[in-house]
Structure 1
Amino acid sequence: MEDQVIKLTQFSEGSGCGCKIPPAVLDSILANRKTVDLLDPKLLVGNSSKDDAAVYQISEDLAMINTVDFFTPIVDDAFDFGRIAAANALSDVFAMGGKPVFANAILSWPVEKIDPLLAGEVLEGGREICHLAGIPLAGGHSIAAKDPIFGLSVNGIVHPKNIKTNMGAREGDLIYITKPLGIGILATALKRDKIKSADYASMIQHATQINTIGKDFGNLNFVHAMTDVTGFGILGHLMEMAEGAGLTANIQGSGIPLIDGVQEYISQFIFPDNTYRNWNAYSSKSEGIIGMELVKFCDPQTNGGLLVAVEPGFQKEFEAILEKQEQKAWLIGEFYAQSAVSVKVL
């Protein structure tokens, strides 16, 4: 086992958030569940909506956020796998406008096939990201299984008035995204041994960037809704925001940002199979996506950026905060009154 060159991605059919259960199948699973939320008024956000995390009110000025997120390897390097998975899990707390306070690890490892020392490197990667976020990796749970899996259960806090759900957008709100797209495409290029070294470095940079800016957005009354872009692609997560608010998202297709170099891989038809899974799930509720444009709209992201709905009268204030925090963001569209489709690309 010591002499083997282990590529963690050979143990994953779908990389990172691309291994999510398909949207249609997930809807079927949730529709057939035999249990429902308890009628507890302190459960402010539960499974009755498609949000990023659960939120439970502790007191008048304190609510607890809890989320769990894990997946199969998106890269071959164990340490980077741990970093990416941890940053992705933390993102759910930031997407609610909250502050993480501690995390527990979730680890599955095929100890007969892959050196357990590599599992230790995965944990170290997760611990580093938690340290950068200012929280402890307090504990966790591990099992021996056929697939390597890693992630975190994260607990966070937020003032109840500052909770940002994915359903709060209002007509006229501007839509921003805080990271360019293309993680799934680059991860596929890696699995096919087609990725350039510079593009790999760029993928790692974006996939490990922590979405801490979401905590700052939570304090802004003119930010009405927020979510992060993950396995369902920007199209799927825009639809959740639009449908949750009873609106339509009008998007400038040319304004959707891509990571440098990604378009070259799209031109070579290098992208995840799950791109089509997302397209099949969401195409009937969208309009204006032509030909290969579906790839950038449906590419499953891992630790993607935040989608933010901003009251239009506060655009300058919002962009000033972005500049002060040295946070990039792209204005990609607006929410309008509901029409026949949930997302319209112009």
Structure 2
Amino acid sequence: MSKLLASLPKNIDQKVLVGFDTSDDAGVYLLSDEQALVFTADFITPPVDDPYLFGQIAAANSLSDIYAMGGKPLSCLNLVGFPSDKLGNEILEGIVTGALQKITEAGAVLLGGHTTDNDEPIFGLAVTGLVHPEKIWRNTGAKPGDQLILTKALGSGVLFNANLKNLVSEKALGDCLDSLIELNKTAAEVLAKFEIHAATDITGFGFAGHALEMLPGSELTFNFSLDEIPILSEAGEMYERGVTT
């Protein structure tokens, strides 16, 4: 996708404050001197069997893109792919209900969405948020001497794959799920009190992948102290046993 986007014409509309050229977490469009809209869309396949929990995880994942831009979520649309010939409506109801709980917690509203038949369930949200044009957090802009702060521990992908092999304890899996459904709302509110030079949401490309996206064309480097990086319980052990994401 990055190669495809790179081949497309650049946005020339001056109201596009953040486009697709920097692989940022969301796009930002200027409304006025005081307001800009933040747009993102994301969906995932089920990492768990519980429909309600799946909805919570997917919603928190989608909403996180808005927080990573320094914005506040306003409204959401469901993005649903569902095998209606294989699974009952009660499954879909559980997914959407779980998502709605997180949307409400975020202070946003659900306006509708789109559903299509799919071989396996997929679910996520298209989210619209609001941010001050001068307070946008981009994934570029890191400066020498900046401290890198993680709002959550790493290792969920490793733990989910390890769980497929029944290698993870119930407590470790529970702690992982608790982390995934926790919104980055409080973290964003706390960080908003400080001068943030750059921010990003760590998801599919992992810690290292998203860190590299923060340094394109830059002479900067990140120095990581592995002992100080928070890791979910048992994730390190699983990785040492050969389980990856």
TM-score range, shorter chain: over 0.9
Say if 2:49 is the partner of 1:79: no
Tell me the equivalent position of 1:91: 64
Tell me the equivalent position of 2:87: 114
The superposition leaves residues 57-100 of structure 1 with CA deviations (integer Å, 9 ceiling, x where unpaired) of 00011000000010111111111110000000000000001111
Alignment of 1:154-303 (within 5 A): 154-212=127-185, 213-220=187-194, 222-243=195-216, 245-272=218-245
Q: Decide whether aligned partners of structure 1 residues 92 and 162 sit closer, same or farther in structure 2, where only a CA change above 3 A counts.
A: same
Q: Please, what TM-score do these two structures have when normalized by structure 2?
A: 0.94
Name the count of aligned residue pairs.
244
Q: For residue 216 of structure 1, report the CA deviation from its aligned partner.
A: 4.1
Q: Secondary structure at the match of 1:51?
A: coil
Provide the aligned C-alpha RMSD in A.
1.5
Distance 1:100 1:244 in 2: 31
Structure 2, unaligned stretches of length 5 or more?
none
Q: Which of the pair is proportionally richer in strand?
A: 1
Q: For residue 145 of structure 1, report the CA deviation from its aligned partner.
A: 1.4
Over the matched positions of the two proteins, sequence identity in percent amounts to 37
Counterpart residue type for residue 208 of structure 1: I
Tell me the equivalent position of 2:39: 66
- Contact preservation (8 Å) 2:2, 2:23: no
Q: Decide whether aligned partners of structure 1 residues 97 and 260 sit closer, same or farther in structure 2, where only a CA change above 3 A counts.
A: same
Tell me the equivalent position of 1:131: 104
Question: Which segment is superposed worse, 127-136 or 207-216?
Answer: 207-216
Tell me the equivalent position of 1:38: 11
Structure 1, unaligned stretches of length 5 or more?
1-25, 273-346
Distance 1:227 1:37 in 2: 22
- Contact preservation (8 Å) 1:169, 1:245: no
Counterpart residue type for residue 28 of structure 1: K
Tell me the equivalent position of 2:3: 28
- Contact preservation (8 Å) 1:167, 1:244: no
Distance 1:244 1:219 in 2: 29
Say if 2:83 is the partner of 1:103: no
Q: For residue 149 of structure 1, report the CA deviation from its aligned partner.
A: 0.4
Q: Please, what TM-score do these two structures have when normalized by structure 1?
A: 0.68
- Contact preservation (8 Å) 1:164, 1:218: no
Q: Decide whether aligned partners of structure 1 residues 42 and 249 sit closer, same or farther in structure 2, where only a CA change above 3 A counts.
A: same
